[in-house]
Amino acid sequence: MSTPLDHEFVRSAARAADRSAAPLAADPEQDPADVTHRALARQVKTLVAAYRSPDSALHGSGQAIAAALTHLTALRSLQTPSGLFAGGDNVQSPPDSAFTVNDVCDAHVLAVGAGPALHEVAAALAEIAGAASESLRTGGVHTPNHRWELCAALARLHRSFPDGRLLDRVEEWLAEGVDIDTEGLYSERSAVYASLVTNPSLLLLADVLDRADLRDAVERNLATTLDLIRPDGTVETVHSRRQDQKLSFPLWPYLPHYRLLAIRTGRGDFARAARLAATDGIDDPDLLAQTLLTPDLCRVLPAPDAEKLPRDRYLPTARLAARASATAHTVVYGGSDVPEHRRIRSGLACNPTFLRLFAGAAVLDAVRLSRGFFDLGPFRAADMEQLADNGYRLTGTLTTAYYQPLPEDRRRDDGAYRLVDEGRFSAAMAFPDRPQDEVSHTTRVEVDLREDGADLRIDISGPPVPWSLELTFRPGGEPQGAVPLGDGRWCLTNGPLTYRVGDDEIRVEVAVETGEPLAGPERTDVLRYDPSQDYTVVGGTDATTGNRVYIGGHGPQTLTVALRARRPSPAV
């Protein structure tokens, strides 16, 4: 017996498409000036989907056809002689053009399926796709996810315009192996690129090539993502190697993938995630086209599983731990790439946040630790060790040096020595050739995850240096028990701190085990966040925003920090 259709889901997808397409159809001759090629292709796809869908207000609309043709003319004008598209920072980019061609090919399938009424639209789409085909087949990429987006475009081109050479190229890329680790994370560890690029691309390739292994990779990634969903309906990104490592990313882009695999596999946990992704309604104008291209999406979801609490997950490949209970959701992170690579770089995991805590509406967004050690920046663990009973130890050592005179056989009469980067700065001093006196500084943070929060023990060793622990709370409350410093900043020296939003609160208690007393509010030189000279030398920063509470001192020092979430008991 076939599964019944979810008519309300389809109607919601149609309404989202109409919100985007209706204004375009209302003035179909309006030239879409200053619209990117990717946006133009997506708008054409949405217009064609709305025309095709009986649930859309634009079903069978001549205005929608006219608007699609206007946008196709604009899109064709952005296509260079190579078939690739102009615009954007990446010049003559095969992968950027692949994003556009993927939508062009999907729109072509929808237009061809509409019969003679969309013949002109289908012909224009075929012309654009054909012009790009060879450049996409022979073109290269520069990020991991680009491979799969490009492969998806080649597979879609072959689906509509069969050419064995396109599939040969897809197989060449796929022979590298999908970059998914043993824990189900792609190499970029990015929620943005997993949800918007890699997962949809691999699902398309799985269907076109009949490759169950590609579908399995997506299922593994979605299963891992279940443990990264935060109580506020976002997905954890602190471990990402891309732009989203400093952003809050919503769950809704995962909706079609959770929904599709829940329907195809019967997984109740995926059904629960799909429902959660649609909690605030459906506002993705592309979803209607997806329902037409993949009818399984329209079927009713299987019964969702109840969320199991408490729940623990440790991802050793990313060095990320999460513990969720009815009271608190806590994340511990020690997987930065900076200690190994000794630089801040696009494509590296650089976020120095090592803990987050959610207590309903009260949210501790970031815990960071600055040290005044040669301006080398905040604590980023080089190692994360799992201990017994939900305990973790984060460790990081910074090492720099003072350099001695060059040996006699390495000296130059002209004084013109090699310009070398020594890990902290660059200078024409031939650093590797010099004897050096190393100076090291080690930080250890032990975290015991509890159902109501976490206990931290922070040990700062090495030469005497100032340090500052920064607690950044999400706006909505005000720290009680801390001394205001102005500009959204507070100082905690003793006694408990309470951060309350409505009936939810986070309580902080600090105690010094060894070392000097904590710094008072007059020590503004200590009570601050230092992003390191990698940022400040170009006038930048990776500092957080929000209500920031500082706990500072002068090491060596050992202190404990108790973080407790308190929430009202659920009504019986």
The predicted-structure confidence for 55-89, as pLDDT tens digits, reads as follows 999 999 999 999 999 999 999 999 999 999 987 77
Residue 468, Cβ density class (10 Å: 0-12 exposed, 13-18 middle, ≥19 buried): buried
Res 489: pLDDT: 96
Whether residue 34 is predicted with pLDDT greater than 50 in this model: the reply is yes
Reduced to 3 states, what is the DSSP secondary structure of residue 85? strand
DSSP 448-515: EEETTEEEEEEEEESS--EEEEEEEEPSSS-EESSEEEETTEEE--SS-EEEEETTEEEEEEEEEEES
Whether residue 495 is predicted with pLDDT greater than 90 in this model: the reply is no
Residue owning tokens 């729109």: 107
Res 562: pLDDT: 98
Across the beta sheet with 504-514, what order do the strands follow? 383-387, 391-403, 436-450, 453-461, 557-566, 504-514, 497-501, 479-480
Using CA atoms, how far apart are residues 137 and 170, in angstroms rounded to an integer? 8
Res 91: pLDDT: 74
Whether residue 570 is predicted with pLDDT greater than 80 in this model: the reply is no
| Mean of per-residue pLDDT scores for the chain | 95
Residue 3 region by backbone torsions, left for phi larger than 0, else alpha for psi between -120 and 50, else beta: beta
Average pLDDT over residues 426-432: 95
Query: Which carries the bigger pLDDT value, residue 55 or residue 424?
Result: 55
Of the pLDDT bands very low, low, confident and very high (cuts 50, 70, 90), residue 2 is low
Using CA atoms, how far apart are residues 186 and 351, in angstroms rounded to an integer? 18
Average pLDDT over residues 330-352: 94
Q: Which residues pair with 426 in a beta bridge?
A: 421
Whether residue 487 is predicted with pLDDT greater than 50 in this model: the reply is yes
Is 509 in contact with 353 (CB distance < 8 Å)? no
Of the pLDDT bands very low, low, confident and very high (cuts 50, 70, 90), residue 533 is confident
Using CA atoms, how far apart are residues 353 and 245, in angstroms rounded to an integer? 10
Domains of the chain: 7-298 (1.50.10.20), 311-397+440-566 (2.70.98)
CA neighbor of 254 nearest in space, from 231, 276, 237: 276
Average pLDDT over residues 2-30: 95
Whether residue 240 is predicted with pLDDT greater than 70 in this model: the reply is yes
Average pLDDT over residues 241-255: 96
Whether residue 429 is predicted with pLDDT greater than 50 in this model: the reply is yes
Residue 216, Cβ density class (10 Å: 0-12 exposed, 13-18 middle, ≥19 buried): middle
CA neighbor of 289 nearest in space, from 534, 104, 130, 36: 104
Res 572: pLDDT: 38
Residue 215, CA distances (Å) to 211, 257, 489 in order: 7, 10, 48
The predicted-structure confidence for 157-214, as pLDDT tens digits, reads as follows 999 999 999 999 999 999 999 999 999 999 999 999 999 999 999 999 999 999 999 9
Res 87: pLDDT: 78
Whether residue 504 is predicted with pLDDT greater than 90 in this model: the reply is yes
DSSP 318-355: TTEEEEE-SS-EEEEE---SHHHH-S--TTS------E
Whether residue 494 is predicted with pLDDT greater than 90 in this model: the reply is no
Res 406: pLDDT: 97
The predicted-structure confidence for 354-397, as pLDDT tens digits, reads as follows 999 999 999 999 999 999 999 999 999 999 999 998 999 999 99
Percent of the chain with pLDDT over 70: 99
Res 424: pLDDT: 85
Average pLDDT over residues 109-114: 96
Using CA atoms, how far apart are residues 125 and 103, in angstroms rounded to an integer? 10
pTM of the predicted model as reported, rounded to 2 decimal places? 0.94
Average pLDDT over residues 26-51: 96
Percent of the chain with pLDDT over 90: 91
Is 84 in contact with 99 (CB distance < 8 Å)? no
Using CA atoms, how far apart are residues 541 and 546, in angstroms rounded to an integer? 15
Tokens representing 420 are 């070398």
Q: Which residues pair with 331 in a beta bridge?
A: 322, 356
Q: Work out the number of other CB atoms within 10 angstroms of the CB of residue 410.
A: 12
CA neighbor of 136 nearest in space, from 80, 89, 186: 80
The predicted-structure confidence for 252-279, as pLDDT tens digits, reads as follows 999 999 999 999 999 999 999 999 999 9
Using CA atoms, how far apart are residues 198 and 174, in angstroms rounded to an integer? 13
